[in-house]
Amino acid sequence: MSQGEGAIITYEKWDFAEGMELEKQEQRKAPRGVVPSLLALSPERAVTLLYMLLALTFVLFMALTIINVQRVSAVWEALEQARIRSENSHMTAWHNLSEVQHTLDKQLSGELKTIHGRLLNASQEVENMWWKMMQCKAECGKELSDRLRVLEERDVLEPVLQQLAEVKEEQSRVLALLDTALEETRNLSEIFCMRCPTGWQQFAKTCYFFSTAVKPWQAAKESCTDFNAHLAIIDTEQENKFLANQILENRVFWLGLTDMHNEGDWQWVDGRSLSLSYVSSLIGKVWNSGEPNNVGDHGEDCAMIYSNGHWNDAPCSNAEAWICERSC
């Protein structure tokens, strides 16, 4: 071995020794317990450590997710219980209100029945008074007439004639008083009108009869006349609603309205023109759409009312139910 080769070997040993010494110093400088850098590890160990970190992260994420789900479930359960308590509270309040309303309805119904009974008694008393006054008028008038006839038949002196004149004046005064009392009694009878004939329905001061049989319009009109009544005449929107509310679905009733005398000129049975009556403002509302249209070979000249309050024209020969109307 030459001197140069020996020098090279000696330099390499020194360089290796110096490298080992530097590595030891670096290791001594590194703090204990610190995980070596991934770059200083082998690829297999780095991948394994990475998987372990991912697994730990996933476990922590799942744990946090479960905790949050439990919290949300607890909040949701609390909200559901609050909702149930609220519904129970509303149901209890509604039940209490229903009971209060039922109690009030019973009390009001009893009071209304009492008032109705008193009014019926008053109406009966007024009616009895009217008949008594009518009877008194007839009897008193007959008595006075008899006295006058007796006095006129006698050949009496002037004092008697004067007495006769006074009696006649008294008769006139009594008759005037009776007429006034009868008129006031009649007015009271109208005010206390609380009764309609059996089978009739009352609205305001008017009684209505809804037939169960069916007849052509003219026969229905004559049937109402037999009851001292006439086919229904509608004057107000409230009256129209009242009649409609008494009619069952799928049924129709004749009204006292026709244009058989002059096509298109609808008139009530009392002679009033529909266009001039109180209900004229409702004409556009009460007729069914497209009515009256007067279709068919024989035309449609008589009016009827449906359960919805609308009117329709139909052949007068149709057999339908009818509504009679009369004063209370």
* pLDDT tens, residue by residue, 249-275: 889 999 999 999 999 899 999 999 987
Structure tokens at 239: 């009256």
Nearest-Å Rg of the Cα atoms of the chain is 54
pTM of the model: 0.45
For residue 268, the SS3 value is: strand
**Which of 326, 321, 295 minimizes the C-alpha distance to 217?**
321
Structure tokens at 195: 């009764």
Choice between 73 and 161, residue whose per-residue pLDDT is larger? 73
Residue 308's pLDDT band, with cuts at 50, 70 and 90, is: very high
Choice between 23 and 159, residue whose per-residue pLDDT is larger? 159
pLDDT in tens, 151-169: 555 555 567 677 777 777 8
User: What does the pLDDT average to over 37-43?
Assistant: 62
Residue 244 has pLDDT above 90, yes or no: yes
pLDDT at 11: 47
Give yes or no for a contact between 251 and 320, defined as CB atoms under 8 angstroms apart: no
Strand partners, 312: 304
Q: Is beta strand 267-268 parallel, antiparallel or unpaired with respect to 252-258?
A: antiparallel
**Which of 262, 244, 270 minimizes the C-alpha distance to 301?**
262
Domain ranges of the chain: 116-191, 201-327
Q: Would you give the DSSP letter of residue 101?
A: H
Amino acid at 160: V
Q: What share of the chain is helix, strand, coil (3-state, %, to 5)?
A: 65, 10, 25
pLDDT at 9: 47
CATH of domain 201-327: 3.10.100.10
Which range, of 78-87, 185-194, 237-246, 287-296, averages the lowest pLDDT? 185-194
Q: State how far the Cα of 323 lies from the Cα of 231, in Å rounded to an integer.
A: 6
pLDDT at 137: 57
Highest mean pLDDT among 2-11, 172-181, 247-256, 278-287: 247-256
Residue 239 has pLDDT above 90, yes or no: yes
Percentage of the chain with pLDDT > 70? 62
| Residue whose structure tokens are 């009204």 | 255
Structure tokens at 89: 């509270």
Number of residues that make up the chain: 328
Residue 285's pLDDT band, with cuts at 50, 70 and 90, is: confident
Amino acid at 323: I
Residue 304 contacts by C-beta under 8 Å, 6 or more apart in sequence? 252, 253, 254, 255, 311, 312, 313, 314, 320
Residue-wise DSSP of 156-212: --HHHHHHHHHHHHHHHHHHHHHHHHHHHHHHHHHHT-----TT-EEETTEEEEE-S
